[in-house]
Structure 1
Amino acid sequence: MNEERLGLRERKKLEAWRTLRTEAYRLFARHGYEAVSVEDIAAAANMSRSTFFNYFTSKDAVLRDPEPGDRERWLALFDRPADEPLWDSLVVLLLEFAKQISEFLTTMKRLELQSPALTERTLDRTHPFYRDLRDWVDTRTKPGDELESALVLNVALAAAETAYAHWEPTVDFAGFLRTALECLERAGAGVARHG
Structure 2
Amino acid sequence: MRDKIDASFAMLYPDVDPGTPLPPSTWERVAVSLSSGVLFFGVAAGDIIIAGVGLFLVLVATVMPTQRADRRTRNEARARFPQVPWAEKDVSHQYEPATVIGVTWAAIAIVAVLALLLVPAKFSLLAAGVCGVAAAVIMWFVPGIHPSRQPEILGYEYEDDSLDAPRDVEETATFSRVEQ
TM-score (normalizing by structure 1):
0.32
Greater helix share, 1 or 2? 1
TM-score (normalizing by structure 2):
0.34
